[in-house]
Amino acid sequence: MRYRSVRVTFAWTLVAAATLAAAPPASSGTRPDCPRLSARWYGDNRAHLQQVIDERGTCAGPIPPAGRPVAAFDWDNTVTKNDVTDVTLVWALGHDKILRPAHWRDTSRWLTDAADRALTAACGTTTPAGAPLPTSTEPRCADEILEIRENGRTMSGAAAFAGTWNHRRTVPQYAWVPQLFAGRTVAELTSYARGARAQALAAPLGSTRTLGTHTVPAYVRYYDQQRELIRTLQRAGFDVYVVSAGAEPVTEVWSRGVGIDARHTIAIRSVLDRRGRITTWNEGCGGVPATRGEAIPYVDGKRCWINQEIYGVHGAAAWQRQDPRHRTALAAGDADTDVTFVGDATGAHLVLNRNKSELMCRAYDDADGRWVINPMFIEPLPRRPEPYPCATSAYHATGGGAEPVLRDDGSVVPDQMDTVYGTPVY
Q: What's at 297, amino acid-wise?
A: P
| Contacts of 412 by beta carbon, 8 Å cutoff, 6+ apart | 390, 391, 404, 405, 406
CA-CA distance, 293 to 268, in Å (whole number)? Answer: 9
Side chain identity at 2, as an amino acid letter?
R
Residue 30: predicted pLDDT: 53
- Give the pLDDT confidence score for residue 189 in this predicted structure: 98
State what percent of residues in the chain have pLDDT above 90.
89
How far apart, in whole angstroms, are the C-alpha atoms of residue 336 and residue 395? 9
Percent residues over pLDDT 70 in the chain = 92
Residues contacting residue 402 through CB under 8 Å, at least 6 positions apart:
392, 393, 394, 395, 396
pLDDT tens-digit profile of 89-99? 999 999 999 99
Tell me the pLDDT band of 2, cut-offs 50, 70 and 90. very low
- In the chain, where are the structural domains located? 1-330
Query: What is the phi/psi pair of residue 406, to 5°?
Result: -110, 145
Classify residue 255 as exposed, middle or buried by CB count within 10 Å of its CB (0-12, 13-18, 19+).
Answer: buried
Smallest CA-to-CA distance from 238 within 63, 29, 74 is with 63
378: left (phi over 0), alpha (psi -120 to 50) or beta: beta
Residue 74 has pLDDT above 60, yes or no: yes
pLDDT at 19: 36
Q: Is the pLDDT of residue 380 over 80?
A: yes
Q: 65 to each of 188, 227, 334, how far by Cα in Å?
A: 36, 24, 31
Q: In angstroms, rounded to a whole number, what is the distance separating the alpha carbons of residues 232 and 239?
A: 11
pLDDT score of 33: 73
CA–CA distance, 227 with 307 (Å, rounded to integer): 24
Residue 334 has, within 13 A of its CA and on its CB side, a CA count of 23
- For residue 45, the tally of other CB atoms under 10 A from its CB is 21
Q: Are 42 and 375 in contact (CB under 8 A)?
A: yes
pLDDT at 3 over 60: no
Contacts for 393 with CB less than 8 Å, ≥ 6 apart: 357, 402, 403, 404
| pLDDT band per the 50, 70, 90 thresholds, residue 24 | very low
Q: Which residues share a beta bridge with 416?
A: 388
What is the tens place of the pLDDT at every residue in 157-196? Answer: 999 999 999 999 999 999 999 999 999 999 999 999 999 9
Residue 31: per-residue pLDDT: 67
| Amino acid (1-letter code) at residue 35 | P
Map the chain to HEC letters.
CCEECCCCEECCCCCCCCCCCCCCCCCCCCCCCCCCCCCCCCCCHHHHHHHHHHHHCHHHCCCCHHHCCEEEECCECCCEECCHHHHHHHHHHHCCCCECCCCHHHHCCCECHHHHHHHHHHHCCCCCCCCECCCCCCHHHHHHHHHHHHHCECCCCCECECCCCCCCCCCHHHHHHHHHCCCCEHHHHHHHHHHHHHHHHHCCCCCEEEECCEEEECCCEECHHHHHHHHHHHHCCCEEEEEEEEEHHHHHHHHHHHCCCHHHEEEECEEECCCCEEEEEECCCCCCCCECCCCCCCCHHHHHHHHHHCCCCCHHHHHCCCCHHHCCCEEEECCHHHHHHHHHCCCEEEEEECCCHHHHHHHHHCCCCCEEEEECCCCCCCCCCCCECCCCCCEECCCCCEECCECCCCCECCCECCCCCCCCCC
Order of all β-strands in the sheet with 371-375: 265-268, 239-247, 70-73, 330-333, 348-353, 371-375
Quote the CA–CA distance of 6 and 265 in Å, as a whole number: 34
pLDDT at position 107: 98
pLDDT digits 0-9 by tens, 199-232: 999 999 999 999 999 999 999 999 999 999 999 9
Q: How far apart are CA 111 and CA 148, in angstroms?
A: 10
CA dist., res. 128 & res. 101, Å (int): 9
pLDDT at position 300, please? 98
When pLDDT is cut at 50, 70 and 90, the band that residue 424 belongs to is low
